[in-house]
Structure 1
Amino acid sequence: MEILALDVRLDGYADPVGVLVRDNKGAVAFAYKAEYLSDPDSTPLSLSLPLTTDPYEDVVTRPFFDNLLQERDGALADIMARESLARDDIAGLLFHIGKDCAGALSVLPAGAPPTKVPGVYDQDYVPIPPDRLKAIVESLHKRRRLPEGTEDPSPLAGVQSKIALTLLPDGTLAEPNPGSGAPTTHILKVPDQDHLQDALLEAEAMHVSQALGFETAEAVVTPIADINALLVTRFDRGLDKQNRIVRIHQEDFAQALGLPASFKYERRGVEGRRFDVSGIRRILEATGDPAGEKDTFIRATLFDLLIGNADGHAKNFALLFEQGGRIRMAPRYDILPTRLDDRLTDELAYKIGSARTLNEVTIANFEGFLQAMGIDSAAARRRIRLRHTNEIASRLATHLAELNKGGMKRFADLIASNTRILLGALAVDVPDAA
């Protein structure tokens, strides 16, 4: 195998921020550029890759850069077959498709010019004609190849059918001009034929999350070709002073913990190398507001338990790296009442104490969860258990009638049932509406 060196670029910086190298045995390593380290505005690419002059070896480098690739191996099949590449040849794959990594990062052949630049609404985007948009949605709905000439400019992780697009100021959906490097602003998620209600359910879950005070990505149901799709505003985008669309650097919790995407559930990891509450605590303590972020995460955990979202895995939580080096939790996204689908497991993405499912949660398990989050005082743990659980359950209960009237009776019934189970287990009074 030949030695390969690639430039790692971060949108917003004129020069490469680091170099990714594959040796003749296939191992990869990463090092920051000295010029980048000397820049007062430099930010780490990941909590797992702090700024340092020392290079990172394969065991640390590989998980982070593997997470830049599409999560579904099928999405990589063409490039692997065409170039005779193995799935574990991270650098080889990024040589060919690294210009289209999700987020603000790109990985390019050494010396190549930047491929990601700010976008100008009236210059860098092509409105999608209605017939073409319909064909795109139908292809995603049936899990077929996208129409000829359509390339998702920002390959997205996850198993749902989705494409990254841009919403123009006049409300028209558009694609970036080929080769422009302009960012997308929205994600269009299209349910497949076995999950026709997913867009409606996710929209409701996201709206309720917002109503309860969680910072949550904007989501709106968009009917296209008689299919209810979900249009989600990207939280990793912003506007600069010239009103250009710019990318904001972010990473998911798998990257922050140095875990491959395959370890995004606690049950798939091993001791010391898994997505668990102690790892989550380490991430949150690296943010600009550790106490506030931990409190938010505890409340989010209760919210997910009550609405039946058992899929809060490591790639469904993210960090935003803001100018000046401040790190904070990203808005919530990908919130879905997965327990309404009998084909999906009820096992939680991370354990609550030793509890693997909602039905196993006890006061002792919840206390263990809070202790793992760093809540050392028994009085504080009791206060959180009673106050947060009562507050979130009571506020959710006020939405039950609205969900019933909106054709979401199954969702309302799930919330009511989960409320009775969890609050009963935690010795908290159940709201009358539940």
Structure 2
Amino acid sequence: MSSELFAYLDGEAIGVVEQSAGGALSFTYDADYRSRRDATPLSLSMPLVRAGHKNKPVRAFLQGLLPDSPGRLAELGREYRVSASNPFALLSHIGRDAAGAVQLLPAGEASADAAERHGDVRELSDTDFAELVADLVRNGDTWGRRTDDARWSLPGAQPKVALFRTEQERWAVPQDSTPTTHILKPAVAPYPDHHINEFMTMAAARALDLRVADDFLVTTERGDAVFVSTRYDRRLEEGRWHRLHQEDLCQALSVPPDMKYQSEGGPGIAAIARLINSLPDAEDRRGNARQFYEALVFSVASLGTDAHAKNYSLLLRRDRATLAPLNDLGSYAPYLAADGGNPKLAMSIEGEDSVGQISLDSLVRVAARVGLDRDWAEARAHEITDGIVIAYAAAADAARAQLGDDPFVGRMVDSIHEYASSRGWNA
């Protein structure tokens, strides 16, 4: 006996996920869909050349749609009375609005993505919105309570909520299959200023011409600060919202999310380079190589210690695969003095993961792994490292415009300046 979840991409049926009585997972593409020239794969780990795929890639893909937080998974398990370790069971309840274009729905529950969407969201009052955020702050381990009509699933470890933003800039809970358009992450312990950290680090990356997602800050009527990321996997066209398909690099490599760090057996630069070099389109290979290299350099320049494989995603469309805009950026610099430790990157560079020991020469050697020109790679590394202080200074201006003279803004700039000076970069 098996159970089934029907997979849709932006409202189009593409196949079926099955779970056997013993818990084994499989995915089978719809035959008509698979035969189309414009078909998009569910995952690079499950190519269209094969009709069916077995447990390992399917399980890693489903797990990658769910939160990394054990507390959050346990809360979902209690809420829906299923095992927190069973991604199939969890997604049978919350698979209607996941990362990318995918929807996973039980038999008889059709996707309504092809329908026009008018009036199918429930607007939140300012008080309701403030209480939703406050509950998330109070219950960070479990990500707070879910509203009865919440059907979304988000990956990651940090507490967050997905909402729809109306044309009138009101927050709303989607009804039926209406996709969420923004991801909101409030400031929670033990890093109560992380919303500023993330906002400034994203702004600094943008100032250095890295491709990053759009974002902004809001403050609720209760005074809770929230970092808001605009979903790059959602697009409004001619009055209808579309989901753009994506997957993170752990999903693309059939790696479960609990192995996202290289030190715990997860993907490193070599595995990601092989994936990029295996893409069929030459433009994708070149563009992704450059974007990935720039992100690596920025992680060294900004002390971005959490840039693991799940923090990189690919947008999939037909046979094309392009790295998505960077998201979830942050710097360890403001905590370095208090910690006094030796910060390490999530992925080692030329065998070294201690950030302070990684040289520009090591970064340039990495560029060769993904086929980049050495002169370009060296020049780009200097642009990013020598420009990091100015970039954060500009980010501070943007943060103060929204927050006023918050002391953490100055702390961010000072800590980056001190780190850059210690590395001998222009500061």
Structures share fold, TM-score greater than 0.5: yes
1:297 counterpart residue number: 292
Partner residue, 1:9: 8
TM-score by length of 2: 0.87
AA aligned to 1:32 is Y
Judged with a 3 Å threshold, the aligned counterparts in structure 2 of structure 1 residues 32 and 401 are, in CA distance, closer, same or farther, namely closer
Q: Residue 397 of structure 1: which of 378, 389, 397 is its match?
A: 389
Which of 171, 174, 194 matches 2:172? 174
* Cα 1:203/1:148, change in 2 over 3 Å: closer
Q: How many angstroms does 1:59 deviate by? A: 2.2
Deviation at 1:27, TM superposition (A): 1.4
Please state how far the C-alpha of 1:393 moved relative to its aligned partner: 2.5
Residues 1:301 and 1:129: Cα distance change in structure 2 (over 3 Å): same
* Correspondence 1:198 to 2:190: no
Equivalence for 2:138 = 142
Give the superposition deviation at 1:247: 0.9
- Normalised TM-score (structure 1): 0.86
Hey, what's the Cα distance between the residues in 1 that align with 2:32 and 2:342? 48
- Deviation per CA, 1:153-181: give whole Å up to 9, x if none: 4221222221111121122222213xx21
**1:29-40 correspondence runs (5 A):** 29-40=26-37
Structure 2 residue aligned with 1:427: none
Q: CA deviation at 1:246?
A: 1.4
Identity over aligned residues, as a percent?
28
Q: CA deviation at 1:364?
A: 5.7
In structure 1, distance between residues paired with 2:80 and 2:416: 49
Q: By how many angstroms is 1:319 displaced?
A: 0.9
CA distance in 1, matches of 2:87, 2:284: 34
The CA deviation string for residues 30-55 of structure 1, in whole angstroms up to 9 with x for no partner, is 12111111223211111111102442
Return 159-168 or 354-363, whichever deviates more.
354-363
2:8 partner amino acid: R
Residues of 2 paired with 1:404 and 1:113: CA distance? 47
| Secondary structure in structure 1 of the residue aligned to 2:366 | helix
Do 2:249 and 2:309's aligned partners in 1 also have CA atoms closer than 8 Å?
yes
Quick check: 1:50 aligned with 2:51?
Answer: no
How far apart are 1:133 and its partner, in Å?
A: 0.8
| Alpha-carbon distance between aligned partners in 2 of 1:68 and 1:355, rounded to the nearest angstrom | 30
Q: Distance in 1 between matches of 2:155 and 2:258?
A: 12
Cα separation, 1, equivalents of 2:366 and 2:146? 50
Residues 119, 244 of structure 1: 8 Å contact kept? yes
Alignment-derived partner of residue 214 in structure 2: 218
Instruction: Write the mapping of 1:10-409 to structure 2, written as runs, cut at 5 A.
Output: 10-13=9-12, 16-81=13-78, 85-114=82-111, 116=113, 120=117, 122-143=118-139, 146=144, 149=147, 151-177=149-175, 180-224=176-220, 225-240=222-237, 242-269=238-265, 274-285=266-277, 286=279, 288-322=283-317, 324-341=318-335, 346-362=343-359, 365-375=362-372, 380-381=373-374, 383-384=375-376, 386-399=378-391, 401-402=393-394, 406=400, 407=407, 408-409=409-410
Q: Return the letter of the residue paired with 1:139.
A: D
**Cα displacement (A) at 1:294:** 0.9
Shift of 1:93: 3.1
Q: CA deviation at 1:83?
A: 6.5
Amino acid of the structure 2 residue aligned with 1:417 = E
Higher strand share goes to which structure? Answer: 2
Q: Please tell me whether the aligned partners of residues 220 and 230 of structure 1 are also in contact (alpha carbons under 8 angstroms).
A: yes
Q: How many residues end up aligned between the 2 structures? A: 409
Higher mean C-alpha deviation, range 77-86 or range 92-101 = 77-86
Letter in 2 for 1:76: L
What is the deviation of 1:147?
6.0
Q: Residues 147 and 301 of structure 1: is their aligned pair in 2 closer, same or farther, counting only changes over 3 Å?
A: closer
CA distance in 1, matches of 2:189, 2:71: 19
Q: Which region of structure 1 is more displaced relative to structure 2, 406-415 or 246-255?
A: 406-415
Q: Let me know the Cα RMSD of the aligned residues.
A: 2.6
Contact 1:254 1:275 in 2 (8 A): yes
The one-character-per-residue Cα deviations of 1:360-405 (angstroms, maximum 9, x if unpaired) are 2135633542333335xxxx43x24531222112332323555677
Kept after mapping to 2: 8 A contact 1:118/1:245: no
- Give how far 1:94 is off: 3.0
The answer (yes or no) to whether the contact 2:93–2:151 under 8 Å persists in 1 is no
